[in-house]
Each structure stands twice: as structure tokens, then as C-alpha cells.
Amino acid sequence: MKPAIPANTVERLSLYRRLLEAWLEKGTTSLYSHQIASMACVTPAQVRRDLMAIGYTGSPSKGYSVDALEESIGLFLGSDRVRKIALVGMGNLGRALTTYFTSRVPRFRMAAAFDTDPRKTGRVIAGCMVYGIEEIPRIIPAEGIRTAVLALPADSAQEMADRLVNAGIKGILNYAPVPLRLPADVFLENRDVTASLEKVAFFSGQPREGS
Amino acid sequence: MKPAIPANTVERLSLYRRLLEAWLEKGTTSLYSHQIASMACVTPAQVRRDLMAIGYTGSPSKGYSVDALEESIGLFLGSDRVRKIALVGMGNLGRALTTYFTSRVPRFRMAAAFDTDPRKTGRVIAGCMVYGIEEIPRIIPAEGIRTAVLALPADSAQEMADRLVNAGIKGILNYAPVPLRLPADVFLENRDVTASLEKVAFFSGQPREGS
């Protein structure tokens, strides 16, 4: 099933929502599309298109109600309620991501982590229970988790992704430095840290150190 | 100055190179474009276009020499030599990224980190010296660093980015959950972790927990 809304639109909506939350906290009640656009570093036309895509129509003369708009985007994204996430790989990055979501983004809950290291399994790390990977087929359906984060070395990423998909995972955020082969109905977002840094370094036109 | 080569091409070249390195280690000497394509999860035509973009022409009948191709891509990306990177924000994510690059990607060197926390400054953390942010204008030019990673909360990201750009930084990999406004000659890659996870969760069609 192809999603009807582009992935980039969803990413921008997520950003708008976080900007709106910050405005709400400051007591702002209404905003024009050009103000949202300015903070989000996109054009006002883009903001209006994105909001139309989720069926939201503000009052162009008085601006959008910050409160109502934040709620509408939240409802659309499903982020009005807590979502359970699984993590595979409780290394440095896995721990940093878990700590980050637990402390800063309460609408995501790292409900279960999996690791092959017996020194980590059976313990709570960064607020999240760490299970052995053989528990994936039991825990994922039992917890009703459909989204997973992979924070693993390249060599085990595909195998772990296959196990997750077999257990019912429908979306993977992949920090492993390797592409993954997944069924068409599983949403994949690759966030290869090395490729990102190599790209930025390339376009920085960086002079090179002597070898 | 606009780069002549698309950013996505650079990202794929970085991936091809890492795949070629892995093949070299296994003793593979030649490969066809379809083999590279299969591992990289792209089409063979894409591989050939990307290699033509950097002026590399293999022998279609015998395949590409793994050794020569790996070297050519490395030369093109400038990743044949060590590149210095600056980090701003030695929190959990900053530490994880530093450890990752130090242990796994020796061609990037975290040459200096900056943080506002006096408990962190003046110390070596994860193998990287941590300076106060007031040292940015001195250290960045002195070390000749042109690429920086931001691993910071949203509220200080723009200010730190401005300081980095004023000190000579030409490319920023931004993990802060906020867009940045930068001069046109500075390359920016946003890697907002929350937006990525929200997107994946959305397309996972995740059933929601009771609130």
C-alpha cells in the first residue's frame, strides 16, 4: 500500500507541530503562514499546501489558531498519543537515542530494546528493558510495536531487520551504515551517519590534512 | 558557488566506496555494475551514471577493478586523507558520534569539541578535547576545520551555527531538532532525529496506545 501523502510532507508537519508547541508555551494564539514558514525555513506557499494536504483550512485574514492547528497536525500524525518503539542495538548511539526520546520526546516510548551482548540483556538501560534478540518474535507482537530503530554495525543489520519484519515491524529507522532490503510494505528511512558526514565534508570544500 | 555534482550522488559514492572496501578485504578484485547496484540497493544504470559523473570508466566486459574504483572514488570525495571535524555539544549524542567516528571511520577525525558545560570543558572526552564555546573563533581557524556537527538542543543551535560560520565553517551536519538559517555558501544537512522517527512511525501505520 502506497502512502497517499509524501514522506517529506510528514517530516515538515512534524516540524511545524514542534514549532507550534514552542509558540503555545510562549502564549502565542494565532500565526500567519508566513510566520510558520519563516521559522521552518520553507516558503509560505509550502506551509499552506502542507496544511491543505491534511485538510486543515485556517482563516487567511486572521491567521491560524496555534492551538487548533497543533491539535490537528497531532491527530493527523497520530502523535496525540504515545507510540511504542523498539530499538535494536544498545550501544553508544542506541543509548543516546533512548535517553533523548525518553527525556525530550515523551510521545515516543522506547518500549523494548534488543542486543546480542549478554552483559546488556536482562537489564534496564537508559530507562528501557534490554532483551536478547531471540526475544524479538515474542516481545514485538506482545507489545504491539510496529516501529523500530536500528543502531547496529553493518554486518548484522540485515539479519536483525529481517527478524523485526518477521515479528510484525512495519517501519524501520536505520542508523546502520548499510542499505537494507525490505518488503515493499515496510517503510524504511536510512540515516547512515558516515554518508551524511562525508557529504557535508565534501561540500565544505575542506582542505585536506597532510597524510 | 553551486556544487556541480548533486548531493545524493555524493552520498551514494560514499556508500559504494564503503562497499568496495568491504569487498577488497574479502579479496574480490573485480565487480560488475549490477553487483555493486545489488549491494547498494540501487539500479545498475544508477551506478554507471554515478561513476560517469566522477569521470570513471571501467571496462564493461570485464567489470570494474575494485581496487582502482575504490581509489578513484576516494580521490574524488577527498576521503583519501583524514578530515578534521568539529563537534558542538558533547552530550549523549555528541559522545556517541565521536566514539563512532574515532573507532570506525578513521578518515574523519573529531579534532575539537565545544560545549557550554564547565564540567566538560578542558577535558578529553571520547578521545576528543572539549573547549568552551568562546574558543570557537580561535580553534576553528587554527585547526583549519571547515566541517562541523551540531548535536545540541533546539534553543542554542542557531547561535552556535552562527558562531561556527563566523569562524570559517563551510558545512554543518545538524542533529539539533530545529531548522537553521545559514549563508548560501554553507552546506547544511539536517538530520532531525525526531522528525525522522515521526515519519517512520506515521508510515508504520502504528496502532496507538490508550492515552
CATH of the domain at B45: 1.10.10.10
Same domain for A122 and A59 = no
Residue B38 structural domain: 7-77
Report if residue B192 sits inside a domain.
yes
The answer to whether residue A1 scores a pLDDT higher than 50 is: no
Same domain for B27 and B118 = no
Half-sphere exposure of B163 toward its Cβ, with a 13 Å CA cutoff? 21
Give the closest of A171, A195, A197 to B201, CB-based. A171
Same domain for A103 and A26 = no
Q: Find out whether B88 and B149 touch, Cβ atoms under 8 Å.
A: yes
Same domain for B92 and B170 = yes
Q: What is residue B210's predicted lDDT score, i.e. its pLDDT?
A: 40
Residues on chain A touching B10 (C-beta within 8 angstroms): 198-199, 202-203
Q: Find out whether B20 and B28 touch, Cβ atoms under 8 Å.
A: no
Q: What is residue B207's predicted lDDT score, i.e. its pLDDT?
A: 47
Residues of chain B with pLDDT under 50: 1-2, 207-211
To which residue does cell 539500479 refer? B43
Same domain for A59 and A94 = no
The predicted model scores a pTM of 0.85
Q: What is residue B59's predicted lDDT score, i.e. its pLDDT?
A: 65
Same domain for B160 and B97 = yes
Report if residue A155 sits inside a domain.
yes
DSSP string, A191-204: --HHHHHHHHHHHT
Q: Which stretches of A76-115 are assigned E, i.e. beta strand? A: 83-88, 108-115
Q: What is residue B154's predicted lDDT score, i.e. its pLDDT?
A: 84
Q: How many domains does chain B have?
A: 2
Q: What is residue B77's predicted lDDT score, i.e. its pLDDT?
A: 87
Same domain for B191 and B101 = yes
Same domain for B160 and B71 = no
Report if residue A97 sits inside a domain.
yes
pLDDT-derived band at A58 (thresholds 50, 70, 90) equals low
**Given CB atoms, is A129 within the 8 Å cutoff of chain B?**
no
Q: How far apart are CA B79 and CA B71, in angstroms?
A: 9
Q: What is residue A143's predicted lDDT score, i.e. its pLDDT?
A: 96
Same domain for A88 and A57 = no
Residues 6+ apart with CB under 8 A from A35: A63
The answer to whether residue A210 scores a pLDDT higher than 70 is: no
The answer to whether residue A10 scores a pLDDT higher than 50 is: yes
Same domain for B131 and B193 = yes
Closest CA to A31 of A3, A59, A2: A59
Scanning B157-196 for CB atoms below 8 A from A yields: 169-173, 177, 179-181, 187, 189, 191-196
Give the closest of B91, B154, B191 to A191, CB-based. B191
Q: What is residue A118's predicted lDDT score, i.e. its pLDDT?
A: 96
Among residues B30, B50, B77, which one ends one of the domains?
B77
Q: What is the pLDDT of residues A155-191, one digit of tens each?
A: 899 999 999 999 999 999 999 988 899 999 999 999 8
Q: What is the mean pLDDT of residues A119-138?
A: 96
Among residues B19, B47, B77, which one ends one of the domains?
B77
Report if residue A202 sits inside a domain.
no
Q: What is residue A207's predicted lDDT score, i.e. its pLDDT?
A: 47
ipTM of the assembly? 0.86
Report if residue B204 sits inside a domain.
no
To which residue does cell 574480490 refer? B28
Q: What is the pLDDT of residues A65-122, one digit of tens each?
A: 999 999 999 888 887 778 999 999 999 999 999 998 888 888 899 999 999 999 999 9
Q: Find out whether B148 and B172 touch, Cβ atoms under 8 Å.
A: yes
Report if residue B142 sits inside a domain.
yes
Q: How far apart are CA A106 and CA A99, in angstroms?
A: 11
Min Cα distance A102 → chain B (Å) is 12
Q: What is the mean pLDDT of residues A113-132?
A: 96
Residue pairs between chains A and B whose CB atoms are closer than 8 Å? 215
**Given CB atoms, is A207 within the 8 Å cutoff of chain B?**
yes
Report if residue A181 sits inside a domain.
yes
Q: Find out whether A203 and B187 touch, Cβ atoms under 8 Å.
A: yes
Q: What is the mean pLDDT of residues A185-205?
A: 90
The answer to whether residue A59 scores a pLDDT higher than 70 is: no
Q: How, if at all, do strands B171-174 and B147-150 pair?
A: parallel
Mutant choice from B9, B90, B200, B206 vs A, greatest count of A C-beta within 10 A: B200
Q: What is the mean pLDDT of residues A184-210?
A: 81
The answer to whether the CB atoms of A83 and B201 lie below 8 A apart is yes
